Amino acid sequence: MLQVRNALQNQLGFSEPADALHETDLSGEIAAFRKLIREEKYFFHPLEDRVHVSLDRKKMDHELVNMNTLAITNKDKYGQEIRRANSYVTVKLQPVFVTKEEREKFCKIENKTKDEIETEILSVLLVSLERVDDGMAEQYREYYHTNVKRKRKQIYIDFYYEVLSATDEAVAMQMNVDEQN
């Protein structure tokens, strides 16, 4: 059978010269990688939280270890939307970040659309402020509707930082009051 196979390969021009098969020696790269692993002491305290870095020393995103769970969640969410709509749909999925730098760039308020900034202001910041100081939250909400809504993106961004600052100050004051009591 082997002779028939070799004869067929020769006729079709598939035969390979004996020196065509070779193995690349990766022992140097493997040793260097093992050295990096030992230097980082990854296996000395495996359950300890640590900042993971890539081979070029970029800080890795802290949620990267949960990538499998996130991928399954995204897949299920996409599948549910397709079954619900019975056609192609655009679904906003949670992104996976490899480096910390990628997450910071994505989360930066300046890189978001006006609608996303508006959602952030109304759903997150004003709700947080409402829990601490309801009167101040109402003032900011009125200011938003009269002076910010339907304006330029930069006005949204400035208002976002103003509400964020007010929320931080209100929370700090509330913590001081709680500590004194």
pLDDT in tens, 92-120: 888 888 888 898 888 888 888 888 888 88
pTM of the model: 0.53
Asked if 160 and 120 count as a contact pair (C-beta separation under 8 A), the reply is: yes
Contacts of 126 (CB under 8 A, 6+ apart): 137, 140, 141, 144, 163
Average per-residue pLDDT for the chain: 80
- CA distance linking residue 166 with residue 121, whole number of Å: 12
Range of weakest confidence among 5-19, 95-109, 122-136: 5-19
